[in-house]
Amino acid sequence: MLYLTLTAISTTLPGMKTMLDKKFWRNFSRNIWEKKALVLRNVKSGLLEITDAEVFDLLVLYADRCRKLNDPTGFKFFIDGFKAEEEDVLQVLPEKQDKSLLGYHARMKALFPDYCLVCDELLQVNHKKQHLLTEFTDELYRHVGFPNRFSEMGLYLGNYRKTPFGVHVDSCGVFSFPVAGVKRFRLWEPQYVKKNPSLDRAFKYEKHKKASELLEARPGDMTYWPSSAWHIAESDGSFSATWSLGVWVDQPHKEMISDSLKGLLAQKSGAAGNKVATQFKKLHSDSGEVSELPKAYLQTIELLQRLSVEELQETFLKSWMQHISSQGFKTVPSAPVEISAKSKIRLRSKNSLILWQHSLTSKGVVYFSFGGVTVAGKKSGGLFKLVRDLNHGNPCMVSQYFTRSRSDLRALQTLADAGALSIEKDKGLNRQ
């Protein structure tokens, strides 16, 4: 049985910061993670050092990109709890002329008495600030494990009185970091909602308030609730902006295993694997007993018996590498750059290495992963040396590693498309 108990930890003296150090994370993973809610005051974290002015600039940057592409993907806008149509969302995004979050709010408030702007993964689309997020998640993952699904960081902004979809539960644990205004979250234990199913999607819950816990946080604070907690955000109609990090916990290990094996089995079963009907001798005996396997299944058993430990190891290692190459996020910042033999390139971020491994079953083959994609190269090829030099933080001239290998260049372009690389500009050109 799981008890949701609010633990408002405020151990520091006024003015002192709460450090998210090893001791904190050890205690968090042992006593809080997926067990209890938490409010932490005055937290020291790079994430909380992003000012509201910087958040506004990030929003405008992303909104400008959406306007240019005529595509609001990444933004959602709710008016009185109703989701706005995509074409309307482009009309209500933050603009440079708003000057600040409050400027944007003033413009929106005049149009809508109750609005909510959600920007999914705002930090994930920004290269410069992304490390502040990964510094936090890297520590979290080190202590509670790497998520089999992913994490998502969204910004929630507006004067909405209630979460637009009412009281609900997600399959993720949620960390919240208010940027502006006071944020209130009301939580219920899963056992209580089971006994009171009318709370599901409810906006009116006066009689259930006594059974709830109220988390209140201001800029500088952090809240957390486990994936089992039913919740709703509340406000008196004043403005607030909050980062929300959802860590999804709905993908069990067995799914990781079956997903990894799918590719291997498809490859092993060859043409027989594509057959859409199965030949058989007899479906069942007169008494209804089914005891005879069709030939296709017997052949599959033989095939499975022939699988070597190396093949299994390689399959799992490859999919594990591909999985962790997204750094535990749904989206990896992409910065499409065109690579040619003449390009001088470097890693986009020294914290986001191109991962690699030797093939265990094909001699001389090396696999490379970045941002959830995997490509193959040769151990003797230029790409292998290039990747290791890039991972050391060196700027590299592509032509010094390969000029004629089309497959290496193609593989490098795939890694670049996934966001691994940036073009090194000649510093001489930038001198004033």
The 249-288 contact track toward Fe ion, x by CB under 5 A, reads ----------------------------------------
CA–CA distance, 388 with 182 (Å, rounded to integer):
47
Whether 52 contacts 179, CB under 8 Å: yes
The one segment of 99-107, 162-170, 235-243, 402-410 that binds Fe ion by CB under 5 A:
162-170
Within 10 angstroms of residue 146's Cβ, the number of other Cβ atoms is: 15
With b for 16 or more beta-carbon neighbours within 10 A and e for fewer, the 190-227 pattern comes to: eeebeebeebeebeebeebeebbbebebebbbbbbbbb
Q: Which is nearer to Fe ion, 57 or 170 (CB)?
A: 170
CA distances from 366 to 15, 376, 377, 378 (A): 52, 6, 5, 6
Secondary structure class of 205 (helix, strand, coil) = coil
Q: Which is nearer to Fe ion, 178 or 371 (CB)?
A: 178
The one segment of 20-28, 86-94, 114-122, 169-177 that binds Fe ion by CB under 5 A:
169-177
Q: Which is nearer to Fe ion, 230 or 239 (CB)?
A: 230
Q: Which is nearer to Fe ion, 119 or 345 (CB)?
A: 119
CB of 163 to Fe ion, least distance (A): 7
Q: Which is nearer to Fe ion, 173 or 381 (CB)?
A: 173
| Residue 139 near Fe ion by CB under 5 A | no
CA distances from 144 to 64, 139, 140, 209, 247 (A): 37, 9, 6, 31, 11
Q: Which is nearer to Fe ion, 36 or 186 (CB)?
A: 186
CB of 375 to Fe ion, least distance (A): 37
Secondary structure class of 255 (helix, strand, coil) = helix
CB of 183 to Fe ion, least distance (A): 13
Q: Which is nearer to Fe ion, 170 or 424 (CB)?
A: 170
Q: Please choose, from the candidates 171, 167, 179, 177, the residue with its C-alpha nearest in 3D space to the C-alpha of residue 223.
A: 177
Token pair recorded at residue 42 = 């005055």
CB of 59 to Fe ion, least distance (A): 21
Residue by residue, DSSP assigns 84-115 as PPHHHHGGGS--GGG-SHHHHHHHHHHH-SSE
- Listed in sequence order, the DSSP H helices in 112-252 are 127-144, 190-195
In the bound complex, which residue of the shown chain has the CB atom lying closest to Fe ion? 170
- In this structure, the strands spanning 172-180 and 240-248 are antiparallel
| Residue 389 near Fe ion by CB under 5 A | no
Q: Which is nearer to Fe ion, 165 or 297 (CB)?
A: 165
CA distances from 195 to 36, 199, 200 (A): 20, 10, 11
Applying CB under 5 A, the site for Fe ion has a residue count of: 1
The one segment of 64-72, 166-174, 284-292, 413-421 that binds Fe ion by CB under 5 A:
166-174
| Residue 170 near Fe ion by CB under 5 A | yes
Q: Which is nearer to Fe ion, 227 or 322 (CB)?
A: 227
The 188-217 contact track toward Fe ion, x by CB under 5 A, reads ------------------------------
Q: Residue 295 phi/psi, 5° resolution?
A: -55, -40
CB of 231 to Fe ion, least distance (A): 6
CB of 232 to Fe ion, least distance (A): 8
The residue ranges that bind Fe ion (CB under 5 A) are 170
